[in-house]
């Protein structure tokens, strides 16, 4: 049995018993009923994910998957491919957006090379997890982005990362780096959600109206050329996806098999979560949607996943920045569940019925 199939087979849903126990406690806390709203909803989810009334979330980690994309040759991005490698350097130097927000929330950061096209030999090798499938995908405007075997390799690399980091991680967050990766993400969502490309394609790094229309036309032609099978998520991933997107999907599957929560970042991560959910529907039970991106495609992907994001801050950076901020809410939810007193414990009178 392959690692991918074994992982999928080990994923079971959230624990209904712990969800029930958590609700019974939260119903009795000293406040008007459910007065902390979605923070309390999150506490229920965490109890069900972790099989615990004291969900472990202290050891937080965001995994940033990095890879390049041949599709940028068609002019769908304002930035050149070398920026992917340059931003990896920024992550390692600690001065990128994800570094700032991860430090703020006390979250560790792991960088993974899934398929960076540039020469990473100049970067400190010991600080990068090396799972490169190839030096970037091929342009799916001319044919499949990768082979099916490469798609599976990338998914299994993400699972391997989850397994390798599990002993030192209570909760994962997803992050991405890959110039041009809103294009494969839009294509994935269009295919899996069966939506018109124009409804799920946004401005990415800041395209103007003319550039956006060009991007839409490129993706429409690419999907028509490759004809991804919407009923086969690996086929979709191989034909119009990206190595870091596959890696994130694998990370989510691995975390779900380990019964560890995953805070899913923005559009690219949500497209990856969509792939994971098609491979293992019960993996959704371990996903926490961090924030609502300004990218149109995330709306369809979140609706398909049945997820309402915790934050809505007009973010469009990626990197895992939304996941880093959402870690604060995760810890708040656990604190409410474990530290706040019930009416009986605090000897507080209840409301009249």
Active site residues: 319
- Strands in 116-209 per DSSP E: 128-130, 171-177
Give the Cα separation of 35 and 139 in Å (integer).
50
Share of the chain residues as helix, strand and coil, in percent rounded to the nearest 5: 55, 10, 35
314: buried, middle or exposed (CB in 10 Å: 19+, 13-18, 0-12)? Answer: exposed
Element (H, E) at 287: strand 287-289
| Nearest-10 crossing angle of helices 297-305, 182-192 | 50
> Could you tell me if 147 and 226 are in contact, meaning their C-beta atoms sit under 8 angstroms apart?
no
Kindly state the tokens that stand for 163: 């397994």
274 phi and psi, to 5 degrees?
-65, -45
């Amino acid at each position: 049995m392959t690692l991918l199939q074994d992982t999928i087979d080990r994923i079971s849903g959230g624990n209904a018993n712990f969800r029930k126990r958590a609700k019974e406690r939260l119903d009795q806390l000293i406040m008007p009923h459910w007065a902390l709203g979605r923070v309390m909803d999150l506490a229920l989810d965490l109890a069900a994910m972790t099989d615990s009334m004291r969900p472990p979330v202290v050891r937080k980690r965001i995994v940033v998957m990095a890879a390049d994309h041949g599709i940028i040759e068609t002019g769908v991005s304002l930035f050149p491919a070398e920026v992917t490698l340059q931003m990896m350097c920024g992550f390692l130097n600690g001065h990128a957006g994800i570094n700032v927000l991860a430090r703020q929330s006390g979250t560790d950061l792991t960088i993974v090379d899934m398929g960076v096209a540039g020469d990473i030999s100049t970067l400190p090798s010991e600080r990068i997890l090396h799972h490169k499938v190839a030096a970037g995908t091929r342009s799916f405007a001319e044919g499949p982005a990768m082979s099916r075997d490469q798609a599976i390799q990338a998914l299994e690399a993400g699972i391997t990362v989850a397994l390798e980091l599990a002993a030192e991680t209570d909760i994962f967050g997803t992050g991405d780096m890959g110039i041009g990766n809103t294009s494969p993400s839009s294509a994935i969502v269009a295919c899996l959600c069966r939506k018109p490309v124009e409804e799920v394609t946004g401005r990415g790094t800041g395209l103007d109206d003319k550039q956006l229309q060009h991007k839409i036309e490129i993706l429409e032609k690419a999907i028509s050329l490759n004809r991804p099978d919407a009923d086969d998520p690996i086929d979709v991933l191989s034909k119009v996806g990206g190595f870091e997107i596959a890696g994130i999907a694998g990370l989510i599957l691995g975390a779900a098999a380990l019964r560890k929560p995953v805070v899913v970042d923005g559009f690219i991560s949500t497209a990856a979560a969509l792939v994971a959910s098609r491979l293992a529907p019960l993996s959704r039970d371990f996903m926490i949607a961090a924030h609502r991106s300004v990218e149109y495609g995330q709306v369809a992907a979140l609706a398909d996943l049945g997820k309402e994001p915790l934050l809505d801050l007009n973010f469009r950076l990626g990197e895992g920045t939304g996941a880093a901020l959402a870690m604060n809410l995760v810890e708040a939810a656990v604190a409410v569940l474990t530290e706040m007193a019930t009416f009986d414990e605090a000897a507080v009178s209840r409301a009249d019925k």
